[in-house]
């Protein structure tokens, strides 16, 4: 459980930055070279590469080098962790609001 939590923490930390979210959003349309991705970011290539490394080290993207071109693509399986966590949170909060609704309606019916 602790390992799952640490992985999930890393994913959320990686997604906390707007530049990295923009990269994920762009890669959602398909693979792209680092150069193409960096051209959309208002920073130097070395700074942008830190963002790429953060996404890659947390398993959100994969990179492959062919000659001088490094291509990035989403690792869609990693996003399943986020989806599972969100589904669990949704279930918890739905259960809580349902209990609250039952409490309020029962209290109103029995003054």
- Res 69: pLDDT: 92
The low-confidence residues of the chain, meaning pLDDT below 50, are none
Statement: the pTM of the whole predicted model exceeds 0.85:
no
| Number of structural domains found in the chain | 1
State residue 109's pLDDT score. 61
Q: Which domain holds residue 35?
A: 2-109
- Please tell me the distance from the alpha carbon of residue 60 to that of residue 80, in angstroms, as a whole number: 10
Residue 3 is predicted with a pLDDT of 65
The pLDDT value given to residue 54: 95
The CATH number given to whatever domain includes residue 16 is: 1.10.10.10
Segment 7-20, tens digit of pLDDT? 888 899 999 999 99
Q: Token pair for residue 16?
A: 């906390």
Q: Give the pLDDT confidence score for residue 90 in this predicted structure.
A: 86
């Amino acid at each position: 459980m602790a390992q799952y939590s640490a992985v999930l923490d890393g994913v959320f930390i990686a997604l906390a930055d707007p530049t990295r979210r923009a990269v994920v959003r762009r890669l959602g349309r398909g693979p792209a070279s680092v150069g193409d991705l960096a051209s959309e970011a208002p920073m130097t290539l070395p700074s942008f590469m830190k963002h790429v490394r953060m996404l890659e080290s947390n398993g959100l993207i994969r990179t492959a080098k062919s000659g001088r071109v490094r291509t990035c693509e989403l690792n869609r399986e990693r996003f399943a962790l986020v989806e599972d966590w969100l589904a669990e949170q949704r279930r918890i909060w739905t259960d809580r609001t349902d209990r609250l609704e039952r409490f309020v309606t029962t209290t109103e019916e029995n003054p």
